[in-house]
Amino acid sequence: MNRKYLGYLFEIAWILPSVAVPIAFLVAIVITAFAVGIAVPGNVGRVDPKALSTTPPFDKPGLRELAPGRYEAVVTAQLFNFTPGELEIPAGSKVTFIVTSRDVIHGYKIENTPINMMVIPGQISRMTTTFDTPGEYYVYCHEYCGGGHHLMVGKVIVTPAKTASANR
> Where along the sequence are the contacts to ligand CUA (CB under 6 A)?
80, 106, 141, 143-145, 149, 152
- Please give the Cα distance from 119 to 116 (Å, whole number): 10
Nearer to ligand CUA, 51 or 151 (CB): 151
- Is-cis flag, bond preceding 57, omega within 30? yes
d(CA 89, CA 86): 10
Q: What angle do CA 156, 152, 129 make, to 5 degrees?
A: 30
Nearer to ligand CUA, 71 or 82 (CB): 82
Helix (H) or strand (E) holding 27: helix 3-30
State in angstroms the smallest separation of the CB of 142 from ligand CUA: 7
Q: How far is the CB of 99 from ligand CUA (least distance, A)?
A: 12
Closer to ligand CUA by CB, 70 or 149: give it: 149
Shortest approach of ligand CUA to residue 80 CB, angstroms? 6
